[in-house]
Chain A
Amino acid sequence: MKACDLAIIGAGPAGMAAATEAANAGLSVIVLDEQPAPGGQIYRAIETVPEERRKILGPDYAHGAGIAQAFRNCGATYIPEATVWNINPDLSIDYSRHGGSAQVSAKHLLIATGAVERPTPLPGWTLPGVTTAGALQILLKAHGGVGDDVVLVGSGPLLYLLAQQMIAAGKPPKAIVETIDRERYIKAARHLPRALAGFGYLRKGLSMMRQIRQAGVPRFSGAHDIRIEGVHRAEAVVFSVGGKAHRIETTSVALHQGVVPNQQATRLLGCDHAWNESQRCFVPKLDVFLESSIENVFVAGDGAGIAGAKSAAMRGRLAALRVAQKLGHSNGADIRALQADLKRDEAVRPFLEALYAPSRDILQPADETIVCRCEEVTAGAIRRAVDLGAPGPNQVKSFLRSGMGPCQGRMCGLAVSAIIAERRKEEPEAIGYYRLRPPLKPLLLSELAQLEPEATRSEPL
Chain B
Amino acid sequence: MFKRIKATETPRVSFSFEGQPIEASTGDTVASALMLSGQTHFRNTPISQSERGPFCMMGVCFECLVEIDGIPNRQACMIPVREGMVVRRQKGAIGVETE
Interface residues in chain A, defined as those with a beta carbon under 8 Å from any beta carbon in chain B: 34, 36, 41, 45, 48, 50, 52-53, 56, 116-117, 126-132, 134-136, 138-140, 142-149, 169-171, 232-233, 251-252, 262, 373-376, 404-408, 410-411, 437, 439, 442-445
Contact B78 A34 (CB under 8 A): yes
Contact A131 B55 (CB under 8 A): yes
**Please, which residues of chain A bring their CB within 8 A of the CB of B57?**
131-132, 134-136, 138-139
Instruction: Answer whether A373 and B63 are a contact pair too, CB < 8 Å, given A128-B42, A143-B25.
Output: yes
Q: How far is the CA of A443 from the CA of B61 in the complex (A)?
A: 15
A-B contacts, 28 listed (Cβ < 8 Å): A36-B80, A48-B27, A117-B60, A128-B51, A129-B53, A130-B55, A132-B56, A132-B57, A135-B56, A135-B57, A138-B58, A140-B5, A145-B4, A145-B5, A145-B32, A148-B2, A171-B5, A232-B41, A233-B53, A251-B1, A373-B61, A374-B62, A376-B48, A405-B94, A408-B98, A410-B61, A411-B55, A444-B71
Q: How far is the CA of A68 from the CA of B65 in the complex (A)?
A: 30
**Please, which residues of chain B bring their CB within 8 A of the CB of A135?**
54-58
Q: Does B35 contact A (CB under 8 A)?
A: yes
Contact A406 B52 (CB under 8 A): no
**Please, which residues of chain B bring their CB within 8 A of the CB of A129?**
40, 53
Q: Apart from A131-B54, A170-B5, A410-B61, what 4 extra A-B contacts exist at CB < 8 Å?
A: A36-B80, A145-B5, A148-B1, A376-B47
**Please, which residues of chain A bring their CB within 8 A of the CB of B40?**
128-129, 232-233, 251
Please give me the residue from chain B that is nearest to A444 by CB atom.
B71
Select which of A132, A143, A171 is within 8 A of B55 by beta carbon: A132
Q: Lowest 3 CB-CB distances: which A-B pairs, in order?
A: A128-B53, A128-B40, A135-B57
Contact A442 B73 (CB under 8 A): yes
Instruction: Answer whether A52 and B3 are a contact pair too, CB < 8 Å, given A406-B94, A443-B96.
Output: no
Contact A131 B62 (CB under 8 A): no
CB distance from A145 to the nearest CB of B (A): 5
Classify the interface of chain B: helix, strand, loop or mixed.
loop
Contact A139 B2 (CB under 8 A): yes
Range for the number of chain B residues in contact with chain A = 35 or more
**Please, which residues of chain A bring their CB within 8 A of the CB of B8?**
50, 144
Q: Does B86 contact A (CB under 8 A)?
A: no
Contact B56 A134 (CB under 8 A): yes
Please give me the residue from chain B that is nearest to A41 by CB atom.
B58
Q: How far is the CA of A442 from the CA of B63 in the complex (A)?
A: 13
Q: Does B36 contact A (CB under 8 A)?
A: yes
Q: How far is the CA of A241 from the CA of B47 in the complex (A)?
A: 35
Contact B1 A405 (CB under 8 A): no
Q: How far is the CA of A131 from the CA of B61 in the complex (A)?
A: 10
Contact A148 B3 (CB under 8 A): yes
Q: Does B16 contact A (CB under 8 A)?
A: no
Contact B45 A376 (CB under 8 A): yes
**Please, which residues of chain A bring their CB within 8 A of the CB of B65?**
406
Q: How far is the CA of A145 from the CA of B40 in the complex (A)?
A: 14
**Please, which residues of chain B bring their CB within 8 A of the CB of A443?**
96
Contact B47 A375 (CB under 8 A): yes
Instruction: Answer whether A134 and B35 are a contact pair too, CB < 8 Å, given A34-B78, A146-B5.
Output: no
Please give me the residue from chain A that is nearest to B71 by CB atom.
A444
Interface residues in B1-48 by Cβ distance below 8 A to A read: 1-6, 8, 25, 27-29, 32, 35-36, 40-42, 45, 47-48
